[in-house]
Structure 1
Amino acid sequence: MAEKLKDTTVPNPPTADLLATVGLKPEEYAEACRKLGRLPNIVEMGIIGAMWSEHCCYKSSKIHLKTFPVTGKRVLQGPGEQAGVLDLGNDYALVFKIESHNHPSAVEPFQGAATGVGGIIRDIFAMGARPLALLDSLRFGNTYPVEAVGNPEADKAVDEQPQEAADGSGDKLNIPWGDSPVPFVCTVSWMTTMRQQLFERGPEARAAVKAIREMHTGDVHVLAYCVLPDQIQLALYLENGREEEAEAAVAALKEKLAEVVAPQTQGKPPWDSFVMLHPRHSGSELMEAIHLLEFAPVTRQKVAQVSDYKYVSQVWRYGVPWLDDETDNTEARELPYCAGVNDKQAARSRYLVNGVVEGIAHYGNCIGIPTIGGELVFDPSYTSNCLVNAMCVGVVRKDRIHKARADGPGNVAMIVGARTGRDGVQGATFSSVELAEDVAESRPAVQVGDPFMEKLLLEATLEILDMPGLVGIQDFGAAGLTCSSVEMTAKSGTGMRLDLDAVPQRAKDLSAYEMMLSESQERMMIIVEKGSEDSFREVFSRWGLTAVDCGEIIGEQRIEVLHDGAVVANLPNRPLADEGPEYDRPHEAPASWKNRHLLDDRDIAAALERINKLPVATELAGHSLPAPGSDFEDILRRLLMHPSVADKWPVYQRYDWSVRTNTLLGPQGSDAAVIRIKETGQGVAMCTDGNGRAVSLDPRIGAAQCVLEAARNIVASGAEPLGITNNLNFGNPEKPDRMWQFVESIGGIGDALRKLDLPVTGGNVSLYNESGGRGILPTPVIGMVGLLEKAEQAIPSRCTDSGLELFVLGTHHARLDASLLMYDIARLRSGMLEEPDYKQFISCMNFILHAAGEGAIRACHDVSDGGLLVALVEMLAGAQVDVAPLLAEGYDMGDHNRLATLFAEDGNRWLLAVGPERKSWIRTAALHYQVPLTPLGRSVDGRLTVSGGDEEWFGCDWDVLETCRRYGLQAALSGD
């Protein structure tokens, strides 16, 4: 450990233990020697190891992070500084960022979480902003025992198991395939192109539109859903903008049709017993096509041939046509693995939750910054690796924004704030590896926080912002003095000579190694013009803080460190800050991805059977519960009492979320918390959102859905989304399947941001969240901010008045895949996701923002975890709803479709409560914006009644549902 590394000499070659201690791989050590032209000593090795750690240099991720959109009309500062800055359209700007403290919190939950909060606060006021609000995104293992299900071997990383070749279903057809299936086009090409408004180009396109409309008005053969008229082929080529190219492509496809159809059908009517899809289609297109094929018989009742539909899921699974009338579709599928939680693990998760929440509450409450929102999620994958992500939002006058600069040779570097100790030594390298089985051994790497000291540092820092002579400010974060000195000088093209003998110490006999790598909290570095030091010292002294000269800026781009009068480190800063390792690591989808399928009736039946075997709760946190009156009520109760859904008051009651009196909508008042900016009258909405369930099934689409979920919450509060900061929490990047999850997730986030025209202003990457060979669910967390020009127009998510008209805004595909019901309650961790409809989302957003400005919406709540019924219970005090308007023509009343209607989470939907006097206005506005607005029912007192047309599906007392929602988390945290 670090305390043993006081000798600056290093054996040549260094031992494996020494390299592991400083966080360098052998090849990285060799590269460092090459760049230096000599062997580094132990202090230099520690500096290099910290600066080249995953935590500081993003060596596995930066090649992919470069693909994010980072510019926009409001962006004043993007990635690269301590926090992002967005223009509020006046003299003020919004400063915000999210950071993780995962590893420290897993080891020492109270201090790990507290110092995570302290660090993100310093990032904000180091930019010159006053912090106004905190949010947190927390994830833990289950707090009660659950059994493992599925085959654990199926969950191994790609590089840990042999890969089998995909089954060539073309062999079953006995068709002379070439190297790849012959290209054909399915309905989804038409649908996607219609959404992009590309079909209005050219007479061929208009003819295609006419043909497809005729198909969908009469009886159609299954061929119509797989291969459309010749003109439809044009959809794939319209983006090129040259019709002659499209015509040539269509002609080529016609030839292929003639060549292939006859031998494929083997004398049978065309397309009688198999389905063919275009191999060029993206996963989203295929999924939408499968959805059409699978549900056409029950939603339209117009398809002549339905015998092929049982093979549709195989189209996706094998990627080639499927033909086998005798295939046994009743054979049970192997369940994806879902880890269990034993009594000891559950008890530790309860300990972690309590410690983390106490740490957040202690630091935020003491420093006087309200914690006004966030999320709390439980899943077995987080048992050994909890996630603690903290976000802070502040406001600054644009002329007071400061950056981490070290300009001007001869200027003075000062350390201000707390004294330096041994806590947190090597915290950066500790956070860049997998946690050890015995986490107690890692306690010295966890920092210790003092919020009262930070409050003094905050006020003193804000006071010096307008003083002449201030050059730059940077927080001491990861790697402490090392990171601050290296990063500030590298940005400015300068260097620094540090004198460690001047560093204030609170521990005896600190070595140079320890002082350079200590992460003692509540410390900052300021760069001031030579000769102005005394004026800055006077301010910090008045606040009871130390401020000492610790170095000077030099013209040469080097970091020179002196201790006991001798040079103990002399390193070029460019290689440390800008030329660290950059890995393009191998990434490959796991076998579970290649074998995935849409949930079908077999899956739903198996899930219901599993749910029916679960014990029925008769008591919850001391409150008795009557027996459920129906299966629907039983499922709804289970969802409401699930700790990821249940009311979070056991957590929020520990937070002071109203301090400073800026909070308009706090942690239980809206989908996004809203604060008032008193100087401008504007409101700022903010939220954190992630969905490990969805990302685990499809990292690209799932990550995009995380962005949309955050945007839905911002919009639900009446605010316009402005931008995001993200925290990317993933497993070991050295395993190809984990890296594949990371790469795909970045692609999905980027896709969504470009569609919504939103920038990333910064964030954090947390890798190696893995223990014992099993990683967490891939968990990108989106921190989003939005703007209300008039703060008083903020919309709450809850309204207990009766007599309100209820509407569902938006549509969904009635899929239970990745839903809380399937994934957590039934523990069926399989399925596929639908590609988001961004165009509809934007239309719905504009509609809500207009309605909010008119004061037409009494409450707005997005439909997410738990689906429609959970949203109703969270929003109201009673409701009488008829879901018939949500059902398509010829709706099948089977379990799958009913459950999907009530509990599906896919699509972009909001639940609106509108006063009866605004009913006509809201419907007219929906027509104007061309958004799907479906009447659902009205709010009543004390009861939930759900019907589908003339048939009542079920009804139950609201008090029972509210008891489940109110006390579910309390029971989980007590171990019940």
Structure 2
Amino acid sequence: MEHVEQLPTVETAKKLGILPEEFEQIKQILGRTPNFTELSIFSVMWSEHCSYKNSIVWLKTLPRDSDRMLAKAGEENAGLVDIGDGLACSFKIESHNHPSALEPYQGAATGVGGINRDIFTMGARPIAQLNSLRFGDPKLAKTKWLVKGVVKGIGDYGNAFGIPTVGGEVFFDECYNTNPLVNAFSAGIVEAGKVAKAISYGVGNPVFIVGSATGKDGIGGASFASEDISEKSTEKLPAVQVGDPFMEKLLLEATLEIIETGYVVGIQDMGAAGIICSTSEMSAKGEHGMIIDLDKVPTRQTNMKGWEILLSESQERMLVVVEKGKEEDIKQIFDKWDLHCAQIGEVVEGGSLHFFQHGELIADVPAHDLVLGGGAPQYRREYREPAYYQEFKKFDINNVSDVDGEEIGKVAKHLLSHPNIASKKWVYEQYDSTVGTANRTTNRPSDAGVVRIRDVKRPHYQKSIAMTVDCNARYVNADPFIGAQIAVAEAARNLVCTGAEPLAVTNNLNFGNPYVPEVYWQFVNAVQGMGKACLKFNTPVTGGNVSFYNQSSDDGPVFPTPTIGMIGLIEKPENQTSLDFKNEGDLIYLVGQSQNDIASSEYLYSYRGVKASPAPAFDLDEEYSLQVAINQLIEKQLVKSVHDVSDGGLFVTLAESALPNGVGFEVATMEGYRKDAFLFGESQSRVVISVSPDKQAEFQKVLGGELKTVHALLGKVTSGGFVVDGQEVISTAEAKDLYDNSLGRLMS
């Protein structure tokens, strides 16, 4: 053991984010007091970011099984589901919130890099990415700086790496002023029999580090992500990693090539906590140990300390265990791609990790005790209902005046220009959505992104993957149990409206400090709501990410934001359905039951200024029945367009369907409803469908007869102008200008 004058104390442990009782636990595990390097290892591996110590007991309650699941939730680099024909889809979502709050460009860029590495480490070639972004008040200079940096970081990295960004969401609220949320999603395709695993076994098998050299960027990033943002956070800029998309592109090709050889025993991306995370997780899973010589790790700086090398989160690196005797085959491939490929150790018996530097043993730690599901602590934190929850329930719609004919136009303009509703064109035009030429929604706008699966062995292969990211955090804040169900339901609804069968979920759970009982209550209820909805839609959770500590002393916690990433399968190209109205004279139907409800709507929140109200009206069984009905209508080819009613309510849905082709609509409000609730309320389980007049009879027969689904004829598609109850509310041209350009104007 290295000669250290003074071993760490409980005070040292606290500074590293380790609780006094955890320090005692570490001493018991080792049978001695750890040295500083060992304590640093435990500090990152037992951080919330790596160990999920405050969330895992609840995450285990989520549904994790279906006929299509090919990897156990959370046990591989990403989720994996069977899509038939010998193919599988690998997909995952992860956050890069804290780094993006300090250095938005690199924070977002490395988030994109990291999530794509999780996909191709499985042996899957990434085909598409999405992102879910949350920012503070868009009028603030700081918010504009964050938005511009994050969007440019995502665009520059993704565009250079060559994977299309096919969708996403952007939401603004003051609760995100200090803590933006940057959640990145990626999906890829792999042959089901060629999946690489994150495991290590086979005594004597060599251990390689491949890709980029190791530097001091990102040291302590996992610990940094496990604490509140404060004024002192800027001192932790080294905890923000620096990305290189061109290096990642080379690493992608080299990785897929070495996996193709069949010589790879196990491979893992070096994300949070770097070398120590990969060595410990792979070893623990394979029930073996490793001897690692840190002097053999290619470094960017001279004289890096052992703990710095172990904890660095430098990007574009992998840990690979290969079959003994195949070292030269692997090195030749990395030489061809001009990448580092250094053997730094080998697999040994037992479960311990032995790290050497300058010939000295500087750390000796048991892999099992470092990892999630092993010896890492698991906690059930205290939780209690926040006082605001019951206050929100006291909301009475009768205390809000309804809109009259003239005010409908005023609300319409407010919503169409609001940054939460208006087109995110200013954002997505900075992303390459057509690279790879597989995006099927470039000229066919729809509720989910759709990417055709390319299969070189079957050039005429017709299946597509649909994907979406969804969460209305305002709903979740109002009622975490119902709000999280709505997030899952909306994701499934978006896929179904696009013609896809929902398959599975990856989630990114963004919350405040778990040691605050009211925050933990939000977390527990959101997980339970999510679980209930995932069971209903048969969309098991394949894994994801928990991001706690999204709060600051100034702004408090962010809205609880459990972002749902969901994928679906479109079996036949003719089932792909877009949201745009096609022809003048087509009939417009509302399918699903409207409610006299304006709770938590953008209209109530930002136009009326009422921030305390419950989640919108929602019934899980009703939602499921609606989705079955939509699926049937699409399968029978009875619809011209399908678009779900969500943020902004029915009027915004109609506008979004009219604008792509520059058409208009004439609709009538229904008796028995307040006009504001009918037009701008956000009660769930409603879809707007356009139908050709010659299909009307069959359409009504299917809905009214076989399915008994509530539906109403609203009106028809026109050549221009948005007309409600015989009065033009806004012209198509003005609506298009407000919708397309408001966000860009705000940012400039």
TM class, shorter-length? over 0.9
* 1:758 aligned partner: 539
* 2:450 aligned partner: 674
After superposition, residues 287-366 of structure 1 pair within 5 angstroms as 346-366=140-160
After superposition, residues 222-237 of structure 1 pair within 5 angstroms as none
| Secondary structure class of the residue paired with 2:231 | coil
The residue type paired with residue 650 of structure 1 is W
* 2:733 aligned partner: 959
Q: Sort the Cα spacing of 1:898 and 1:799 in 2 relative to 1 into closer, same or farther, 3 A.
A: closer
| Secondary structure class of the residue paired with 1:519 | coil
* 2:671 aligned partner: 887
After superposition, residues 551-562 of structure 1 pair within 5 angstroms as 551-562=345-356
The residue type paired with residue 494 of structure 1 is H
Question: Out of 841, 844, 865, which is 2:647 matched to?
Answer: 865
Q: Is 2:367 aligned against 1:569?
A: no
User: Post-superposition shift, 1:751?
Assistant: 0.8
| Secondary structure class of the residue paired with 2:432 | coil
* 1:85 aligned partner: 80
* 1:102 aligned partner: 97
Cα pair 2:599 2:616 within 8 Å, conserved:
no
User: Post-superposition shift, 1:592?
Assistant: 1.0
* 2:9 aligned partner: 13
Distance, in Å, in 2 between the alignment partners of 1:812 and 1:20 is 54
Higher relative contact order (CA 8 A, sep 6+): 1
User: Post-superposition shift, 1:932?
Assistant: 1.3
Deviations 1:351-401 (A, max 9, x none): 000000000001110010001110000000000000000000000000111
Q: Sort the Cα spacing of 1:902 and 1:953 in 2 relative to 1 into closer, same or farther, 3 A.
A: farther
* 1:159 aligned partner: none
Distance, in Å, in 2 between the alignment partners of 1:736 and 1:431 is 20
Question: Out of 52, 57, 60, which is 1:63 matched to?
Answer: 57
The residue type paired with residue 356 of structure 1 is V
User: Post-superposition shift, 1:438?
Assistant: 4.2
Cα pair 2:412 2:729 within 8 Å, conserved:
no
User: Post-superposition shift, 1:12?
Assistant: 5.0
Distance, in Å, in 2 between the alignment partners of 1:651 and 1:717 is 22
Q: Is 2:746 aligned against 1:972?
A: yes
User: Post-superposition shift, 1:8?
Assistant: 5.5
* 2:171 aligned partner: 377
Distance, in Å, in 2 between the alignment partners of 1:399 and 1:778 is 39
Question: Out of 17, 34, 38, which is 1:44 matched to?
Answer: 38
* 1:913 aligned partner: 690
Cα pair 1:22 1:46 within 8 Å, conserved:
yes
| Secondary structure class of the residue paired with 2:504 | strand
User: Post-superposition shift, 1:835?
Assistant: 6.1
Cα pair 2:291 2:345 within 8 Å, conserved:
yes
Question: Out of 662, 679, 682, which is 2:438 matched to?
Answer: 662
Question: Out of 464, 472, 492, which is 1:683 matched to?
Answer: 464
Q: Sort the Cα spacing of 1:469 and 1:69 in 2 relative to 1 into closer, same or farther, 3 A.
A: same
Of 852-861 and 79-88, the range deviating more from structure 2: 852-861
Q: Is 2:734 aligned against 1:734?
A: no
Question: Out of 796, 815, 818, which is 2:600 matched to?
Answer: 818
The residue type paired with residue 939 of structure 1 is V
Distance, in Å, in 1 between the alignment partners of 2:386 and 2:32 is 43
Question: Out of 708, 716, 724, which is 1:938 matched to?
Answer: 716
Of 47-56 and 847-856, the range deviating more from structure 2: 847-856
User: Post-superposition shift, 1:782?
Assistant: 0.2
Distance, in Å, in 1 between the alignment partners of 2:443 and 2:282 is 37
The residue type paired with residue 505 of structure 1 is T
Across the aligned residues of Structure 1 and Structure 2, the Cα RMSD in angstroms comes to 1.8
After superposition, residues 287-686 of structure 1 pair within 5 angstroms as 346-577=140-371, 578-601=374-397, 603-605=399-401, 630-666=406-442, 669-679=445-455, 680-686=461-467
Question: Out of 19, 24, 28, which is 1:30 matched to?
Answer: 24
Identity of aligned residues (%): 41
Q: Sort the Cα spacing of 1:549 and 1:372 in 2 relative to 1 into closer, same or farther, 3 A.
A: same
TM-score of the aligned structures, taking structure 1 as reference length? 0.74
Cα pair 1:652 1:667 within 8 Å, conserved:
no
Question: Out of 131, 138, 158, which is 2:133 matched to?
Answer: 138
Question: Larger C-alpha radius of gyration, 1 or 2?
Answer: 1
Distance, in Å, in 1 between the alignment partners of 2:679 and 2:94 is 36
The residue type paired with residue 955 of structure 1 is V
Q: Is 2:680 aligned against 1:903?
A: yes
Cα pair 1:840 1:931 within 8 Å, conserved:
no
User: Post-superposition shift, 1:736?
Assistant: 0.3
Q: Sort the Cα spacing of 1:865 and 1:444 in 2 relative to 1 into closer, same or farther, 3 A.
A: same
After superposition, residues 206-221 of structure 1 pair within 5 angstroms as none
* 2:458 aligned partner: none
Q: Sort the Cα spacing of 1:468 and 1:963 in 2 relative to 1 into closer, same or farther, 3 A.
A: closer
Question: Out of 831, 839, 844, which is 2:621 matched to?
Answer: 839
The residue type paired with residue 810 of structure 1 is G
| Secondary structure class of the residue paired with 1:552 | strand
After superposition, residues 706-855 of structure 1 pair within 5 angstroms as 706-772=487-553, 774-833=556-615, 836-855=618-637
Distance, in Å, in 1 between the alignment partners of 2:164 and 2:712 is 38
Distance, in Å, in 2 between the alignment partners of 1:119 and 1:417 is 13
Distance, in Å, in 1 between the alignment partners of 2:25 and 2:444 is 52
| Secondary structure class of the residue paired with 1:540 | helix
Q: Sort the Cα spacing of 1:13 and 1:20 in 2 relative to 1 into closer, same or farther, 3 A.
A: closer
Distance, in Å, in 1 between the alignment partners of 2:671 and 2:324 is 73
| Secondary structure class of the residue paired with 2:385 | coil
User: Post-superposition shift, 1:602?
Assistant: 5.0
User: Post-superposition shift, 1:629?
Assistant: 8.3
Cα pair 2:598 2:616 within 8 Å, conserved:
no
User: Post-superposition shift, 1:879?
Assistant: 3.8
Consecutive unaligned residues in structure 1, runs of 5 or more: 1-5, 145-345, 609-627, 892-896
* 1:199 aligned partner: none
Cα pair 1:370 1:657 within 8 Å, conserved:
yes
User: Post-superposition shift, 1:603?
Assistant: 3.6
User: Post-superposition shift, 1:7?
Assistant: 9.2
Deviations 1:312-352 (A, max 9, x none): xxxxxxxxxxxxxxxxxxxxxxxxxxxxxxxxxx1011000
Of 464-473 and 828-837, the range deviating more from structure 2: 828-837
Q: Sort the Cα spacing of 1:835 and 1:821 in 2 relative to 1 into closer, same or farther, 3 A.
A: closer
Distance, in Å, in 1 between the alignment partners of 2:36 and 2:524 is 35
Distance, in Å, in 1 between the alignment partners of 2:51 and 2:191 is 30
* 1:256 aligned partner: none
Question: Out of 56, 61, 72, which is 2:66 matched to?
Answer: 72
Deviations 1:780-824 (A, max 9, x none): 100000111013421111235322110111113221111111123
Consecutive unaligned residues in structure 2, runs of 5 or more: 456-460
- Paired residues in the alignment total 734
Distance, in Å, in 2 between the alignment partners of 1:386 and 1:445 is 17
Distance, in Å, in 2 between the alignment partners of 1:666 and 1:782 is 23
Cα pair 2:666 2:718 within 8 Å, conserved:
no
| Secondary structure class of the residue paired with 1:630 | helix
User: Post-superposition shift, 1:883?
Assistant: 3.4
User: Post-superposition shift, 1:881?
Assistant: 3.6
User: Post-superposition shift, 1:470?
Assistant: 1.3
Of 835-844 and 421-430, the range deviating more from structure 2: 835-844
Distance, in Å, in 2 between the alignment partners of 1:667 and 1:811 is 31
Distance, in Å, in 2 between the alignment partners of 1:692 and 1:421 is 37
Cα pair 1:717 1:795 within 8 Å, conserved:
yes
